[in-house]
Amino acid sequence: MTKANTSNGKTLDWPQEAARLRGKDEPSFGHEGSNLCLDFHGDPQRAGLVVFSDGNHHMALEECVSRFLDANPEAQDVFYATTPPAPLVAALEKGVLHVGNLSISASPHVFIGPAGVLEKLVDNKRMESHLAFAESSCPPHEGAEVVPVDKETLVQAAFTSRLKMS
């Protein structure tokens, strides 16, 4: 668990999330309240699959990307970012996203977000098309649970996108 300070002064326990979890003998650095990048998961340099997703999907992504990695070990790792859409769209357009002193120049194979954001990416020729893989049982922002339409859809879409990018 990582301890993260919230804007209201409370501490949030945040679990480690990644497709490939850190090995016991691999070094890490962290200091409570600083050097935290909770919305960035995995190794962008070694990842054979890069996913940009709005933060609403981060709970489901860990299982999906882990399953992708199990089925495609040659990918080595999956890097996934789970921020609000605007920084990810800007990173896609500019080719880089700065997080504190860290610069991430990863280009996504899969971009997950609201239909309106994805349609703009298609209109701007940033992607060819988009596919719905989940639906909400309630209107947005009312504690809606994301219910997978088909658990294999994201993994298959990711694999297909990765093949097209190779």
Chain segment 12-41, per-residue pLDDT in tens: 676 667 777 677 777 666 666 676 788 899
pLDDT of residue 114: 87
Q: For residue 89, is it within any domain? A: yes
User: pLDDT higher for 45 or 10?
Assistant: 45
Whole-number CA gyration radius for the chain: 16
Q: Averaged over 46-64, what is the pLDDT?
A: 85
pLDDT at 133: 67
* Mean local confidence (pLDDT), 66-93: 91
The domain containing residue 83 runs over which residues?
Answer: 35-158
How far, in Å, CA of 72 to CA of 61, rounded?
16
DSSP-based helix, strand, coil % in the chain, nearest 5: 35, 20, 45
Domain count, the chain: 1
29 part of a folded domain: no
Across 9-18, 112-121, 157-166, least confident range: 157-166
Phi, psi (deg, nearest 5) at residue 131:
-135, 130
- In a domain? residue 54: yes
**pTM score > 0.85 for this model?**
no
